[in-house]
Structure 1
């Protein structure tokens, strides 16, 4: 039976059964589906495509392998997350696996890279306080004290949401606990993020006036290499890429603004396609839209309750992650995949589809999350139809799993919040920016979609495009040569060594795009000259 014929037959079979009546008269259909599913599982799988790293990414990988501390930044869609995941595995080979700690500023980001929140790793607790108070908290926390002393490498993802005071406090704690004057107590640091995206959320009084992590006194000393990835993979349309780069920096030329205004006019005049994911700045709008859509169905919903194991505070982090505490599904519900299931079949994070029925689970007991022991059958917009089985999200401490969450890798997909869409790639989206606030929010929303053709826009005005002046100045320092810099020209590449010992290479032939990397020989030479 051909794949297309199989899918068509499966859809036709399951459309005849509703959520309410499925368990009564579908045993033959279920047996047929599972027999086909098992036979397909036995087929040889296509080998996973090997990632072809860019020259910039290779330089980072090489530097990390040599023990360097690095800061990785770049636009949305430049492959930061995949690179960080690869680096984590690399670090576990370079160090003892138990000495590599993977963290992120938020629970969603931490779960995406199988790590823990930065606060959880550090053991500093809440509320925030001065660095001496935080150090006392760690000293009174035996497990946190052990983590700091055991750490050989520390990964911090989504650094844009970490403020300067926290970054400085953690460096102070590391140095005090581990002894000596070496920055971060000798821990190899791998930090990733884009400061043009979502900024820190302050939960305490910031008396120093510093906001972003790069303003920390120890920032430059923390890294042997700071590199901005410039090759974008998410979007292929040069015009759209140019537009997004302008929005990222808080600017947009008149032609691009005209395109965005035309998108608004077109969206407002057309009826909204229910298959398109809607992004909103506020969680209350997301909840309202999803609940309204679910209430429009007359059938009873099937409930899936997450099953958690482990101890606090790690179990609490699972609630901050992307997998929901509870999920209500019925036939016709729009859903989004929140985990990569099968990359070669296109079943990846962000893929959307519709629930076409439910199947009684065979071989997998799911009564711990669903009392009816049912699994949803999803017809994805990209083509495949699949019974979705539970997945597991974990929180790790070094190489030890300290908490787990079992849940379906699905979310209701009529609406999502902009804050929880970082890292996602969507073919189509509608975003209502009427209630957007703060810097970077417009950029984060628009940069999720692959093309202008897939973008529906409303509530937009040019005044909502914002980038923080401090962030602009920080990224300008990557490309602009300060007065204290000694440089030399080598063909099209301008090599400079700044006062921190970082080497920046600007490729001036690439129409303004810049490439920055670390040269070990130049770095050593610059250090020797200063001694």
Structure 2
């Protein structure tokens, strides 16, 4: 266990260590994924704090860039909103900005699920023209993609859809044309830190993979309570599908409080787009208002997403500055002063040979916002103890229901305003196909089909057990111990495949496994 600034104590498990080793000690491209709550953001921050490489951290949206103290993809590459491949040009050798693309060791793109295929192709072309090596994908710069494809998807407007369909199989980053030339390692973080209850984790996985049954739906719907009334100190937060729903709920709750209304005016300097502000530029609060903290406190008193209530508002005796006093969900009282968020632009300082960040815009305001309600989209990456989920007219995006339900630490902390239906669970099967096929291909490279068959035949001959990691076509992965009995060609629904018949100790029954879906296989030491 290691302590890292505002992160607190983190566990460097085996997959974290493997990811960190590839990130720091290789030039290999990597896709790091994992279910909600597996520590993807923690891994990014840890690596950035420890690395000796010249690393740039980018994100697809302004809000995501602020959250990771990075820069948007468009800003870093100086792309305009309507960027296309044809508009990308080679920069002049005299251009100071060109040198940075030669000096970068690695580019991390966070929230990769929201990056469109056409944008990634533009990044590739730009780096080939202006990076280290025109003949290599991304100009020879190591690319590290972080994110969960089962959460929020890229945005393609209705006007763009028809045009997009003619050029790409899907809007997802993995359907960029460059992917046919890209070699990439795959790491899936597996340990979930947000939830501890294995039954709840199993239910969330069923939502994520759309393997959910009517029994699972019924289990969630035990939490359906349309008449649920929040008590004043319960700290429930409502997750909504739209900004308007969240705004209206917060306004209604604020009006219920009969104490004095305070207004705090924030300030913007330089370039900081209003739509990327983490909180209101004119923040309205009352004593008793429920709020959410929006930064990781340097003293470790709260993290981004901590729930609290405004306990008092007073003035500092010496400076006259307003101080907001809040009571956190754990009962601790803390003083909150203004915070400054920064928008960065990366640049290379040739004089000292170092990658630096130039602050091009700042926003100063108290690091909190009204939090009786927020959108599901803005809840991504946050953890709550008590959640009310209001799906409104239902989910309208892939992964939305999974994001909402997985924000809560426990099933007991969830209240459903509307019953969950199978129609609320959206899954884009193109994601499942990519994730599973990619892992099957990587497995074939690391352990060929012939080698797997040899290990199975050896185990049959010696009557010994094998441990396998098995990946079903629905992207459901499991580790299990088997005693193989037969391996050979089999048939199912008039299709032949190579299978192994074995006793499965996890199920305590004989089962058949497709050999090409076995990702890992090892002898079991008796």
Residues 1:223 and 1:515: Cα distance change in structure 2 (over 3 Å): farther
Report the equivalent of 2:156. Answer: 202
Superposition deviation, residue 425 in structure 1: 0.5
Per the normalisation by structure 1, the TM-score is: 0.76
User: Does structure 2 retain, via aligned residues, the 8 Å contact 1:280–1:433?
Assistant: yes
Pairing 1:330-409 to 2, within 5 Å after superposition: 330-341=286-297, 345=301, 347-362=302-317, 373-398=321-346, 399-402=356-359, 403-409=361-367
Superposition deviation, residue 150 in structure 1: 4.0
Is the partner of 2:192 in helix, strand or coil? coil
CA distance in 2, matches of 1:339, 1:149: 33
Residues 1:484 and 1:88: Cα distance change in structure 2 (over 3 Å): closer
CA deviations 1:430-449 (Å, max 9, x no partner) are 01012321210000111100
**Match for residue 410 of structure 2 among 435, 451, 455:** 451
CA distance in 2, matches of 1:430, 1:516: 39
Q: Does 1:285 align with 2:241?
A: no
CA distance in 2, matches of 1:134, 1:238: 49
Report the equivalent of 2:368. Answer: 410
CA distance in 1, matches of 2:519, 2:312: 51
Superposition deviation, residue 86 in structure 1: 1.4
Report the equivalent of 1:192. Answer: 146
**Match for residue 424 of structure 1 among 350, 372, 382:** 382
**Match for residue 327 of structure 1 among 274, 278, 283:** 283
Report the equivalent of 1:492. Answer: 467
Residues 1:49 and 1:339: Cα distance change in structure 2 (over 3 Å): closer
Larger CA deviation: 402-411 vs 461-470: 402-411
When you count strand as a share of all residues, which structure comes out higher? 2
CA distance in 2, matches of 1:54, 1:335: 33
Pairing 1:58-207 to 2, within 5 Å after superposition: 58-67=17-26, 68-91=28-51, 93-95=52-54, 100-128=55-83, 130-135=84-89, 145-178=98-131, 179-203=133-157, 204=160, 205-206=163-164, 207=166
CA deviations 1:318-377 (Å, max 9, x no partner) are 7414243221111111101111226865x2221111111112125666xxxxxxx32211
Superposition deviation, residue 84 in structure 1: 0.8
Is the partner of 1:227 in helix, strand or coil? strand
User: Does structure 2 retain, via aligned residues, the 8 Å contact 1:478–1:516?
Assistant: no
Name which structure has the greater RCO, CA cutoff 8 Å, separation 6+.
1
Structure 2: unaligned runs, 5 residues or longer: 347-355, 456-465, 472-476, 482-504, 508-516, 521-526
CA deviations 1:37-65 (Å, max 9, x no partner) are xxxxxxxxx99854221101100101111
Report the equivalent of 1:23. Answer: none
When you count helix as a share of all residues, which structure comes out higher? 1
CA deviations 1:89-144 (Å, max 9, x no partner) are 334x123xxxx22111122221121111111112111124x3021447x7799676
User: Does structure 2 retain, via aligned residues, the 8 Å contact 1:229–1:515?
Assistant: no
Could you say what the CA RMSD is over the residues aligned between the two structures, in angstroms?
3.1
Task: Provide the aligned length of Structure 1 versus Structure 2.
Answer: 442
Report the equivalent of 2:429. Answer: 469
User: Does structure 1 retain, via aligned residues, the 8 Å contact 2:186–2:439?
Assistant: no
User: Does structure 1 retain, via aligned residues, the 8 Å contact 2:89–2:126?
Assistant: yes
User: Does structure 2 retain, via aligned residues, the 8 Å contact 1:393–1:405?
Assistant: yes
Structure 1: unaligned runs, 5 residues or longer: 1-45, 366-372, 497-504, 518-531
User: Does structure 2 retain, via aligned residues, the 8 Å contact 1:65–1:90?
Assistant: no
CA distance in 2, matches of 1:339, 1:172: 36
